[in-house]
Amino acid sequence: MKKNMLIKVMNVMTATAIIGSGVVGGVIAPLPTTQAQASVMPQLDSKWTSYKFLNANGGAVSEGGATLNNSLIKLTQSNGYSYGRVLVNSKNNLETGKEYEISYSTKATTTVAKHYVDARVSLGTLSAGGRILSSGAKFKMTAGSLIMLDVATKNSAGTITNYNFDIEISGLTIQKTQAQLEKDALEEANNDKAAQDNAREAVNNLFENKDPQGLITADVTQESIDKAKEFVDKVMDPTIKAELESYITEAKKQVDAKTAEIAAEEARQEAAKKAVEELFNNNDVTGTIKDNTTQEAIDKAKELVEAITDADKKAELEAQITEAQKQLTDKETKVEVTGKGNTFTLQQDRYLTGSYTGDVSSMSVDINGKRYYGGTVKNGEFNFYALDKIAKESDEVLVNLHGADKSIQTTFAVVVKSPTKITANAYKTKDSNITGTFNNTDITKMNIVVNGKTYWGGTVANDEFKFYALDKITNATDEVTMNFFNANNELIISKNLTITAPVATSGEITSANLAVGDKNITGTITGDIKSFGVTIDGTTYNGGTIAADGTFKFYVADKKFTADSTITMVGYDKSKNTLAEMTLSVTK
């Protein structure tokens, strides 16, 4: 390491840029830091042809020609004493406090006899000159120091004279002394040892048990690796630096792999979580599974959960899958609950009744949205007291059958009907039919029992019934019962028939007149005559109108008759019983 430090490239400066770009007292440019020791600025191959020097007496500035080639300065001055200066510390040309050695050579001539050219290089400050630096002199740099170049003609007594001169200054080189180099190398070696120790500590801290051959610690991040790398970058020894950089590379590799695994684990957890949630209604794992959840769906979710490496998350999802499996098993082994309610008849039934299949442990009833609990469920049948709860036919009644867990297994509606009502029209002996109405749509057939004898028949439709009884009921004292049945021949209701004896009626056609060309037969009647039957030449017509005063009309304008036609007129009561008969003569 010390050898490496000793050959470290030194800063080298030359005085070839004492004055630049036409500015009096210019500042030298920073020197390259990659030169070998004792280099004479091989990079400086620029060529300047004009330099400016400050006249020793102040004020006047004259120009002289100059050529720069590497560290060679050729000057021609026509006004005698001149100087240039350069700031070598503030621009990082030289290091403050370090020991340097300067070397150069000069070659000067003057055309004035007994006069010579004196060129001096000195170390000073901006405000004043300082120590003269002869070639081979050693010096330490201080802040703000200047390298000064003074050129003047002098006489034999050493007095400055202002005459023309030509001068070449070559090989101007400033470099650290060997002692300074060795001192710097030792200092850098010590500094590098500390840098190595710091870097190794930072790198080792990235690994478990501080073993860089093993695994990184759980809390290592890219940021902590970058911080360790900052320490490694300060190490100068290339072998040790390469070793530490290899550990940094391994740590980064493990972090990248760990990051990738974390992302993969997160993806596995998300996929498994989604698959488990989709087994349940509304993705609520605390609720019930969906109707379409299958064993295949549960198995697929289980496979995704098994791929998770996080033990806690895996256990959580496995518990949810266990619940889904339990619900599916219960669902597949449980007998489906079904139910059916009997029609509830108002003012007649006290209980809602019906039957069911499956595992039912209790029931409830919703009436117009209000729920009532109670009732009895046993052996496939149920009943629920509802006399005080169902009031009208329009009430909405729903029966709910519950399982052992109190959840509703099935719900169905119950039909509510008003009491069955049979309304029979008045019936008299000699009437042809028993007629009437009913209000129960379940009624599909009927029979009558007359004095203990049963007769089936009649028509039952559109809430009306009709039964021919003329040949069955002969006396007003006959006992007659009407029975109404549903399609299964189940008796719904029975009702006795009231029979009334016919009322005696009488009446006469007191006059009847018809002439050829008349439109109506006109005349008068008495008694209970309500309608007429007129037979004209063998054809009978029914009709006629009777006024309150006993007069009547019977329209015949559309009927063919002549003065020779045979016309008979019959008067009927409201039951079509014949009360009177008259033969008419047609007048001309």
For the residues of 324-355, what is the DSSP string, one character each? HHHHHHHHHHSPPPEEEEPPEETTT--EEEEE
Give residue 24's pLDDT. Answer: 26
Q: What is the pLDDT at residue 427?
A: 94
| Residue 329 half-sphere exposure toward CB, CA atoms < 13 A | 6
Q: What is the CATH code of the structural domain delimited by 2-176?
A: 2.60.120
Please give the pLDDT value at position 160. 74
Could you tell me the end-to-end alpha-carbon distance of the chain, in angstroms, rounded to an integer?
167
State which fold the 338-417 domain adopts.
Answer: Immunoglobulin-like (2.60.40)
**Which token pair is 489?**
């021949």
Assigned architecture for domain 507-587? Sandwich (2.60)
> Residue 552 corresponds to which tokens in the numbers above?
């009547």
Angle formed by the axes of helices 295-306 and 238-277, nearest 10°: 160
Report pLDDT for 2. Answer: 32
pLDDT in tens, the chain (588 residues): 333 222 222 222 222 222 222 222 222 223 333 333 333 322 222 222 223 333 323 322 233 333 333 344 555 555 555 544 444 443 345 778 888 888 878 887 776 777 777 767 767 654 455 677 788 888 887 766 666 666 677 788 888 777 776 777 676 677 888 888 888 878 877 777 888 888 899 999 999 999 999 999 999 999 999 999 999 998 888 999 999 999 999 999 998 988 888 899 999 999 999 999 999 999 999 999 999 999 999 999 999 999 999 999 999 999 999 999 999 988 887 778 999 999 999 988 999 999 999 989 999 999 999 999 999 999 999 999 999 999 999 999 999 999 988 999 999 999 998 899 999 999 998 889 999 999 988 899 999 999 999 999 999 999 999 999 999 999 999 999 999 999 999 999 999 999 988 778 899 999 999 999 999 999 999 999 999 999 999 999 999 999 999 999 999 999 999 999 999 999 999 888 899 999 999 998
* Domain residue spans of the chain: 2-176, 182-260, 278-333, 338-417, 422-500, 507-587
Strands 422-424 and 453-457: unpaired
In angstroms, the CA 153 to CA 117 distance is 4
Domain 422-500 has CATH 2.40.50.140: no
- Taking the whole predicted model, whether its pTM rises above 0.85 is answered as no
Round to whole Å and give the CA distance between 573 and 570.
10
Please name every residue paired with 581 in a beta bridge, in sequence order, or none if there are none.
Answer: 570
Question: Could you tell me if 175 and 38 are in contact, meaning their C-beta atoms sit under 8 angstroms apart?
Answer: yes
β-pairing verdict for 545-546 and 551-555 = antiparallel
Are 2-176 and 422-500 in the same CATH fold?
no
